[in-house]
Amino acid sequence: MPLYIRKPIIYASVTLGLLSALSIALYIYGSQNTLPPKFTVAGWRVGGMPYDTFQEQYKERLELLSAFPVQLQTSYPDIANRQLTLGQLGVEYHDDTLTRSLEQLFQASPIQRIKVRWQLRHADIPLEVEVNQTQLTAAVKEAWKEIYSQQPAPAKRIVTAQDTLNYEAERKVLRVDTVHLGEHLKEIAPSVSYIHNAAPIRLTLPLYEQGPAVTVDTLKKQGIDRKISEFTTTFPASGEGRIHNIRSTAASIQDLLMAPGETFDYSKIIAKTETQFGYKEAPVILNGKLVPGIGGGICQVSTTLYNAVLRSGLAIVERRNHSLPVSYVTLGQDATFASGYINFKFRNNTDSYLLIRTVTTDRDVTVKLYGNMSPSITYDIESNVVETIQPPTKYLHNASLAPGVTRPISTGKAGYKVETYRIKRENGIFVSKELISKDQYSPVPTLVASNRGDIKPEDGGTTEPTQPILEDGVKGPSFR
């Protein structure tokens, strides 16, 4: 074979041999079951280590990391230092990047494995660290129970017997700043040494003061600076049930706080009292008649409150007088309540909060209002009877009487039409006069028993309402 033909064949054979040897070498390089030389994981030198050996040691080292001690200390003499592990403090090591790299190194296609092995020959794969904030908070609360057993105390507004306002300061408590602590742990955890029996990490326990929502400052910003009005009504002859009902209802509005623009709703107070205290038996008004019932007396509280509201210049939203005159307040200055029919509402039309306080004795009930109103402004209430309505006579048929005979049963009471005004003064000088209400109180008829031919047994002389209206109570009648 000529030399010029043999030389290309020889070159081709040598080239093929070299390529074959290179392919074999690359295959062997990519098929190794060891980690690339100088390969490290978070500073741990694992180059050349068999993959199975690495997995075993890696698991052990993660356990060591989780058990690594952290000494948490403070400068407060009454707060003890505590030592917890990184794992107890919620430190979690994630190896997503490492796992992806090793999967490509040992499970990908031969060509990809060769490429990845070459890329990782000097690589240092970091461990990703997260802090489980829920676990950290739970561990801290358990370790420093003495801190978390104390709760912040809100500031208090104290109304003295002289109706002046004082304040008791709020109390703050120490708490561990777990967010800040978690950030510290996340910073130091990746660089923790794998050395056995290493000295614990020392961290200063971050603390802060936690205060209550209600502080002296927030109370003062409500603008309540003095007593602006008060009113007292005296109990008429009352049994234990009526006194209980008045006391309980007054207790339900004790220390009630109203924001500017807020509307007071007496029906909510009645519902609250009925749930919390319950109402007892006492006379109520049913269709203009005094009858046994449950809750009698509740309107003495609404009436007392109404009069305090009138004298503070607040806006009346809803109010009705009793169907019958009541003995404990001037005509035209009462406020009745009938569930579902009649309510008492007023609005705090000032720019400051309003505080309601009550005082109840065995003889009277007092409502005091505290807020912000110029002491130069005062209000007087004037009620005038504009018409007296004479009581009608109601004949009740009584067949036991002799024909034509009549016998008085009870004397009636007059009714009234009343107009009530609110007079505003500044420094004692008249400013304005406002018509507050026009009220009518029904007369109580004179009752006469009679056996007259013109009086039928069913003729009562008056027509009762088709729908019974119960005032000054929550239930009735309750006959025994």
Residue-by-residue pLDDT tens, the chain, 480 positions: 555 565 566 666 656 665 566 567 556 665 778 888 888 888 888 888 898 888 888 888 888 888 899 999 988 888 999 999 999 999 998 888 888 888 887 777 887 878 878 888 888 888 888 999 999 999 999 999 999 999 999 999 999 999 999 999 999 999 999 999 999 998 888 777 655 567 888 999 999 999 999 999 999 999 999 999 999 999 887 788 999 999 999 999 999 999 999 999 999 999 999 999 999 988 888 877 778 888 888 999 999 999 999 999 999 999 999 988 999 999 999 999 988 889 999 999 999 999 999 999 989 999 999 999 999 999 999 999 999 999 998 888 887 777 877 888 888 889 999 999 999 999 999 999 999 999 999 898 888 888 876 665 544 444 444 566 788 788 876 544
Compute φ and ψ for 386, nearest 5 degrees.
-100, -15
Q: What is the pLDDT of residues 129-143, one digit of tens each?
A: 899 999 999 999 999
CA 100 – CA 124 distance, rounded (Å): 14
Burial (CB count within 10 angstroms: exposed 0-12, middle 13-18, buried 19+), residue 281: buried
Q: What is the pLDDT of residues 408-448, one digit of tens each?
A: 888 888 999 999 999 999 999 999 999 999 999 989 888 88
- The pLDDT value recorded for residue 44 is 84
Domain boundaries, given as residue ranges, for the chain: 29-145, 222-471
Amino acid present at 226: R
- The pLDDT value recorded for residue 437 is 96
> Which candidate, 219, 263, 254, places its Cα nearest to that of 356?
254
- The pLDDT value recorded for residue 153 is 96
- The pLDDT value recorded for residue 10 is 60
Query: How far apart, in Å, do the first and last CA atoms of the chain sit?
Result: 141
